[in-house]
Amino acid sequence: MVRSGLKEPRRPAGLPPNENYIGVPRVDHYWLCAHLISAIILYSLLLWGSFNHLASHSLVSVTFLLIF
């Protein structure tokens, strides 16, 4: 996990002083939603481009027309 996703909460009371305490992973829901939407858009564009590429071949076009 990247360091930017770690927030520094208060140090727990029972934790020994010599033990390293980094933090708790927290993810902002806006960043998570933006990441998900950009992944869906990228996946859709790649899928659309590959279907257009496959549809340009004559054998695939004829097979598609015969099926549907």
Model confidence pLDDT, tens digit, residues 1-33: 455 655 666 777 777 777 777 666 677 889 889
Residue type for position 45: L
Model confidence pLDDT, tens digit, residues 35-68: 999 999 999 999 999 888 877 776 666 776 777 6
The pTM (predicted TM-score) of the whole model is 0.53
| Segments in 1-68 forming alpha helices (H) | 29-55, 58-67
Q: Are 55 and 61 in contact (CB under 8 A)?
A: yes
How far is the C-alpha of 23 from the C-alpha of 51, rounded, in Å? 45
- How many CA atoms are closer than 13 Å to the CA of 67, on its beta-carbon side? 6
How far is the C-alpha of 47 from the C-alpha of 40, rounded, in Å? 10
